[in-house]
Amino acid sequence: MKTMLTKANRASLARQVEEIALSTPVTDVHTHLYEPVFKDLLLWGLDELLVYHYLVAESFRYHDLPYEKFWALPKARQAELIWDELFIKHSPVSEACRGVLTTLHAIGLDVRKRDLPSLRAWFARQTVDQHVTRCMDLAGVQRIYMTNSPFDDLERPVWEKGFRRDERFRSALRIDALLVFWPQAVARLNQWGYKVDAKAASQKTFDEVRRFLADWSKRIDAAYLMVSLSPDFKFPANDITTRLMEKAVLPHCREHGLPFALMPGVRRAVNPQLKLAGDGVGASDLTALQNLCAGYPDNKFAVTVLSRENQHELGVLARKFRNLHIFGCWWFTNVPLLIDEITRLRLELLGLSFTPQHSDARVLDQIIYKWQHSRRIIAKVLVDKYSDLAETGWKVSRAEIQRDVQDLYGGAFERFIGCPA
Ligand code: RAT
Ligand code: ZN
């Protein structure tokens, strides 16, 4: 068969796709960032980049400091130790290490001298407001979804006091504390005036949980609800999580038109001594998700899975259920090898009806590298896909490429959750 695509045409198509994929504004649909009004909860700067839990875990592979000694160090000393182990004594080739360098370089800092004090000195001169704008500009991020939990004692008072919202940020109501740690949640809910019982078996309790969800969805103007789940999550099951989902969370979501984001696959605290860095991964039985999508067609589910092994099955499920929207290469899958593989797989199975990436940033500056790295991979995959089409004589216009990329970069997600720009 005669090929329709000359080398020169492919190169010009590639240039166009790359330009669009690298510059189109992104909506970051899941992060752990906060509006600046949350003050110290919004982490930023070099030391925070260095003590990111992804780097903490990697540093422990090289040094033999006892865990408790590491945790007893002040943050600045932890950062120096990590810098020394991961950047000076070894080359920083891991994705999380490379990310720090991409970020510093994009900001315009010279990493060649490896001079931690002078890099720190630059950050010390910045203000948070300037820095939010700078990071969002460099990352090309137009909107950031936060992860908001009423069970967080530092966060809750800020919401209760009230403040003027920053339009660049939207909220997601995180309910792990409710669905996964019910015994601890019971005491808090009662303390806040929601009369729930420990068995989670009475209509009164379900009504009260719904009242709690309604109050908080309204207070934070939640765009969706969200939970992370163990690989052992089953649905339906004869347990509290199923009852709370069936009788409170899913009805609440239906009543208020809110999607429910599920993140299965995390084994929490496989090494508790590593604290936040100590979580692991396991393959999930996605029958649970199939049961949810099939059993609750009037609910919408946004889903990302942590294990590589689950990615294909998840893609197939999304072909079956239009109330399922897939997003992001989450956490351990946020490495170039897997972003490339997973994005190709999803495009080939689903076309453009998914969201290839979210940053999961915990430190503001991370949006720069997470998006720069992912944009390049998404660009490469799209060049291949549009080139395959061009081989048949099908031409995509610039406007069509732009439309497609906007959908991938948050447009399809915000349409799905019913919360367009
Ligand atoms: O990626 C992370 O930083 C993890 O620690 C988790 O926060 C995860 O993204 C989650 O939302 O549970
Ligand atoms: Zn997260």
Mean pLDDT in residue range 80-92: 98
Residue 190 has pLDDT above 70, yes or no: yes
Instruction: Give the binding-site residues of ligand 1, using a 6 Å CB cut-off.
Output: 32, 228, 331, 360, 362
Share of the chain above pLDDT 90, in %: 98
Distance 361 CA to ligand 1 centre (A): 9
pLDDT of 159: 98
Counting atoms of ligand 1 from 1, which one is nearest the CA of 362? 3
By most ligand atoms within 8 Å of CB, the mutation choice from 174, 275, 359, 360 for ligand 1 is 360
Q: How far is CA 37 from CA 149, 161, 379, in A?
A: 16, 11, 35
pLDDT in tens, 166-183: 999 999 999 999 999 999
pLDDT of 3: 73
Q: Which ligand is nearest to the CA of 277?
A: 1
Q: How many domains does the chain have?
A: 2
CATH number at residue 101: 1.10.2020.10
Distance 30 CA to ligand 2 centre (A): 6
pLDDT of 421: 72
pLDDT of 420: 75
Residue 210 has pLDDT above 90, yes or no: yes
Distance 1 CA to ligand 2 centre (A): 47
pLDDT in tens, 282-329: 999 999 999 999 999 999 999 999 999 999 999 999 999 999 999 999
Instruction: Scan for tokens 């510059």, then name that residue.
Output: 23
Distance 98 CA to ligand 1 centre (A): 19
Residue nearest to atom 1 of ligand 1 (CA): 331
pLDDT of 165: 98
Give the predicted TM-score (pTM) of the model: 0.98
Task: Supply 16's token pair.
Answer: 């166009």
pLDDT in tens, 224-282: 999 999 999 999 999 999 999 999 999 999 999 999 999 999 999 999 999 999 999 99
Which range, of 1-5, 89-93, 173-177, averages the lowest pLDDT?
Answer: 1-5
> Do 72 and 194 fall within a single domain?
no
Write down which residue in 326, 360, 393 finishes a domain.
326
Residue nearest to atom 12 of ligand 1 (CA): 228
* Other beta carbons within 10 Å of 23: 11
Q: Which ligand is nearest to the CA of 175?
A: 1
Q: Which ligand is nearest to the CA of 362?
A: 1
Distance 352 CA to ligand 1 centre (A): 25
Judge whether 40 lies within some domain.
no
Write down which residue in 326, 343, 375 finishes a domain.
326
Residue 6 has pLDDT above 80, yes or no: yes
Distance 331 CA to ligand 2 centre (A): 8
Judge whether 4 lies within some domain.
no
Q: Which ligand is nearest to the CA of 28?
A: 2
pLDDT of 277: 98
Residue nearest to atom 2 of ligand 1 (CA): 331
pLDDT of 13: 97
CATH number at residue 231: 3.20.20.140
Counting atoms of ligand 1 from 1, which one is nearest the CA of 279? 5
Residue 1 has pLDDT above 70, yes or no: no
Distance 395 CA to ligand 2 centre (A): 38
> Do 266 and 154 fall within a single domain?
yes
Write down which residue in 326, 359, 381 finishes a domain.
326
Distance 172 CA to ligand 2 centre (A): 11
Q: Which ligand is nearest to the CA of 30?
A: 2
pLDDT of 4: 79
pLDDT of 419: 87
> Do 153 and 282 fall within a single domain?
yes
Range of the domain at 105: 46-125
> Do 157 and 299 fall within a single domain?
yes
Counting atoms of ligand 1 from 1, which one is nearest the CA of 176? 12
Distance 392 CA to ligand 1 centre (A): 42
Counting atoms of ligand 1 from 1, which one is nearest the CA of 147? 11
Query: Mean of the per-residue pLDDT values for the chain?
Result: 98
pLDDT in tens, 357-385: 999 999 999 999 999 999 999 999 999 99
Residue nearest to atom 9 of ligand 1 (CA): 360
> Do 88 and 200 fall within a single domain?
no
> Do 181 and 252 fall within a single domain?
yes
